[in-house]
Structures are given as structure tokens and as C-alpha cells.
Structure 1
Amino acid sequence: MLPSGQPAGPTAGGLAYLALGDSYTIGEGAAADERWPVQLATLGRKRGIMLAEPEIIARTGWTTGDLSAAIANARLTKTYDLVSLLIGVNNQYQGQSVAMYRTEFRQLLGTALGLAGNRPQRVVVLSIPDWGQSPFANGQDRARIGAEIDQFNAAARQECQSRDIAFIDITPLTRAAAGDNNQFTRDRLHYSGAQMGKWAELVLPTVETVLK
């Protein structure tokens, strides 16, 4: 959706955590320690969950297909204690179909599950933020964008439910951010550490239940 960010590398020690996604996972425009997976790991450690700093495979502009290709190219060989997945906004932004998204998302879920040692409770999926409520979307059809995001999220939720994988709905938080510039980075599209911190807090109880 905007110029490409760079994937972050892993930090050794603690429970291995792999975060998969796009610009919303790398926190485009925010500091590295403000990325929601990093904030999640920090919150977890405060609660006695010894999560390592996350290994992140994500880049701005990636669709489900791009992410699948990047995971394959990474040639990952180890099993992770936690795998998170947040992907799909660029499928919607580029006008791809929900049917195509569902197919590729289903494949990604299978990959994530394998990387989590075939333990569905160790995989967590976050819903797609509604970028239509960002300042970047001024002058665009916000209602259409929101309706399409809902369709993509419904498909993701159904696929997660079919595999007993946790689906965390952060979309309402992103809609509530409308009109508050403190919730966005300078590009007016991506989210600030303050907003991403809310996502981490929403995910934390699920992770805590599984890993404690």
C-alpha cells in the first residue's frame, strides 16, 4: 500500500514466536519496539510468559500470495511456540476477490499450523484493520471499503473456526481510531504504537491461556 518496509530478524531466548503479515505487522512508520508483535512479547514477559522477541516475516504491500512465497523462500526449519498471522488488507486494496483470498488464506493457515508443530492453540489470527477509517482514506468510499473488509474478515474467521484457531477481532479498535491523529503514523494510513498496543492487549489473554 506504501513503500516497502523490511522484515525484522529474530532474537534468541525464550519461547519462539513467529509473526507473519504485512505492513500492519512490521508497524510501517512506527518504531521497531512499537510493532504489535514486539509489544505482545513485552506484555507477555511482564505476565510471566517468556516470549522471545518475535521473528517477523512481513513487508508493506504483501498479499496472501506474497506472504506464502516469502515463507517458502525463508526455508524455516524449526517449530515455534507461537505463530501469529495478520494478512489481507492488500488483497482488498488491490481489488482481489474474497474467494481468492479465502483459498490463499486457507493455505497460509496450514503453513502457520505446521510451523506451530500442528498445535492449533499455538496459532493466533488477527482481523484486517479497516484502513477506510484512516485519514489516508479521505475522499474515498469509506462505506464500501468497510463492507469489503468485513467480507474478507468473515472468510478468515470461518477458516479459523474450521481449524479451531483463535481469531482476534481488532477491526473495531481500528474503526474507533477514526478522527484521532495520535492513532496513526505520519503517512496517515498505518497505525501508531498507541493503537498497536491495544491490539497486543487484546491478543494477550489468548496467548496467556495457551502458553502459561
Structure 2
Amino acid sequence: MSKPKAVVIYSGGMDSFTLLNRVINENYDVYALTFNYGQKHVKEVEVASTVCQTLGVAHKILDISPINQLMQSSSLVGNIEVPEGHYEDDNMKSTVVPNRNMILLSLAIGYAVDIEASKVYYGAHAGDHAIYPDCRPEFVNAMNDVAKIANYEPISIETPYLNSSKGEILKDGLTMNLSYEHTWTCYNGRAKACGKCGACVERLEAFSENQVTDPIEYE
């Protein structure tokens, strides 16, 4: 009997890396989907490719970078400097990419319909709720309602970590014996992680909370 198919939106970050492995372990036939939307930290796309090759997971990288022309207000794609500090700081709002998850989910849902998958997974989590509206439960619930009626085939949007912190996600990954050297979180796409942007700060907190050392290099 064939496995049920699932699409996983896989950025290459530690949350989606944990999610990808969790869905694989739940015995789905996984189709990973990675987006290049013109983000400064495009290094995450390269990391995602390496991981999927290692795991033998079907993987598509979709170049939608021209849309960054419509999103220049975000420091992740525009000419604005990426802020430093914690996600709960007000200046982190500049890292919001307008309507990003609605766009990415819409494409992933279309892909799921095309390959006859019934579920789309993405790594929204509680640590993102303060700054990112498109990671909050009300957004996920509304998108789920739409995904069930937008096509002849109802698609379910799955967010297993929606109410989990980054530390709790990492703890789940560690129980799966995952190693995180092939993940990229930093919003700056340099050779080493900056350790100062909101993404790095939250990542380092998660490793500290679990009393393990982050295996990637920092500036």
C-alpha cells in the first residue's frame, strides 16, 4: 500500500528542518517545497537542497524572486538594514514580508492538488506570533478554511508546532536525534550567522534552553 503524500514547505531553517523529519517519521511520502522569494538569506535555499539530497526527499526549489519588487518595505528583501535584537522588540516588524505565507501556502496548495497530496505542512510556531500575523492561529485557521474550498480536492494545512516555542521544537528534534549543522536561520546571508538578528537570538535561546551547543558557526 502506498504512503499518503504530503507537501512540506521547507525553508532550510531549524523549524522546518524539524518539521520535515517529523513528517517523514510519520510515514508520509514527502514532497519538500522551497521558495526563493528574493530573501537576503538565500543561503537557506542551498542548505535545504543539501538536506533533501541527503534524505532522499523529493524537492522542488521555486524561484519567485521577482515578487520582491512588491515587498521592498521588508528588511528581508528590500534595501532596509536587518535589525538586531529580540523578536518581541518593535523594530523587528521591519522583517515582516508582506503577505508572504499566504502567497507561499497558495502555491503549496496548488502543488498538493497537482500531485494528489492531501496535506500541506509549514512550520509556524508560537515564537513568531508576536511579530508575524501570518504565523498566528487565526491566520492558519482561516487559510485552512479556504484550502478546503478553493479546489475540488480539499487540502488540509498542518502546523504541528503552532503553539510550541522554538526551544520546544528543538527539543522535539533532539528526541529524533537530529543534528542541526545543516540548517540556516540568520536573516543575513553571510558566510557565518550574525548572532544578533532576531532569528539568531531566538535560535541561540533555544539551544541554551536545551543545554546543547549550536553546531553552526557565528561571527
TM-score between the two structures when normalised by the length of structure 2: 0.39
- Bigger proportion of residues as helix: 1
TM-score (norm 1): 0.40
> If you compute each CA radius of gyration, which structure gives the higher value, 1 or 2?
2
